[in-house]
C-alpha cells in the first residue's frame, strides 16, 4: 500500500505534536489514532520520563481503547513520528488497530539515539512483531524521515 494525502496530513500533525512534546520537556515522540472516516480518536505525547511504558503510542492506544473496542478500531490507523517499538507494536496489535503509518524507522532512530540510556532502542521492526500475530496489521513507513529527525536534533546525548 502507498500513503494517501490523508496519511500525510496526519503525519504533519504528529510531527508537530512530537516537537511540542520536546518543547514541553518530554522525549520527542507523538502518536494519534484516527478512525477510517478521518475522525481523530486520540492523540498523545511521550510521558516516559515518569513512566517508562508511557510511550506516545501506548498513551494514544489506551485512550482509544477506552472509547472503542477492537472491532471498531480495526479500521483505524495509528500515526506515529517514529516506528512503533516492540512494546507499542504489541499494544497496537492487542488494541485491534488495523493500520500503522510512521515517519521515521527504528533503524534511523537508533542512529540518532545511539547508546543514550534515555532510549535503549529495541532493534526489532514493527513489521516483525505484527507478522507474529494471527491477524494482519497494515504498515506504511518510513515516510518523511528527514522531517521526523528535526524534533530529535541535539536532543539525545545531552
Please check the confidence at residue 1 and state whether its pLDDT lies above 90.
Answer: no
Rounded to two decimals, the pTM is: 0.95
| Average pLDDT of span 53-66 | 95
Instruction: Give the model confidence (pLDDT) of 101-154 as tens digits.
Output: 999 999 999 888 877 777 777 889 999 999 999 999 999 999 999 999 999 998
Q: Strand pairing partners for 43?
A: 32
* Choice between 114 and 34, residue whose per-residue pLDDT is larger: 34
pLDDT reported for residue 67: 94
pLDDT reported for residue 94: 96
Domains and CATH numbers, the chain: 5-151 (3.40.140.10)
pLDDT reported for residue 104: 96
Cβ(114)–Cβ(121) under 8 Å?
no
Q: How far is residue 143 from each of residues 59, 110, 115, 119, measured CA to CA in Å?
A: 22, 16, 24, 21
Please check the confidence at residue 73 and state whether its pLDDT lies above 80.
Answer: yes
CA nearest 34: which of 83, 84, 68?
Answer: 68
Grid coordinates of 140: 506504511
Instruction: Give the model confidence (pLDDT) of 76-109 as tens digits.
Output: 999 999 999 999 999 999 999 999 999 999 999 9
Grid coordinates of 55: 510511550
Catalytic residues: 57
Please check the confidence at residue 158 and state whether its pLDDT lies above 70.
Answer: no
pLDDT reported for residue 92: 98
CB atoms within 10 A of CB 109: 23
Residue 48 DSSP code: T
Amino acid at each position: 500500500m502507498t500513503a494517501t494525502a490523508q496519511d500525510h496530513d496526519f503525519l504533519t500533525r504528529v510531527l508537530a505534536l512530537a516537537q511540542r512534546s520536546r518543547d514541553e520537556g518530554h522525549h520527542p515522540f507523538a502518536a494519534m489514532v484516527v478512525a477510517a472516516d478521518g475522525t481523530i480518536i486520540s492523540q498523545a505525547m511521550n510521558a516516559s520520563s515518569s513512566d517508562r511504558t508511557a510511550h506516545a503510542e501506548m498513551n494514544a492506544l489506551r485512550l482509544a481503547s477506552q472509547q472503542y473496542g477492537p472491532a471498531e478500531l480495526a479500521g483505524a490507523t495509528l500515526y506515529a513520528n517514529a516506528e512503533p517499538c516492540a512494546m507499542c507494536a504489541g499494544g497496537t496489535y492487542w488494541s485491534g488497530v488495523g493500520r500503522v503509518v510512521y515517519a521515521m524507522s527504528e533503524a534511523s532512530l537508533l542512529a540518532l539515539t545511539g547508546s543514550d540510556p534515555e532510549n535503549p532502542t529495541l532493534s526489532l521492526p514493527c513489521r516483525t512483531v505484527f507478522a507474529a500475530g494471527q491477524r494482519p496489521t497494515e504498515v506504511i513507513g518510513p515516510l518523511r524521515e528527514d522531517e521526523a529527525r528535526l524534533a530529535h536534533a541535539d536532543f539525545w546525548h545531552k
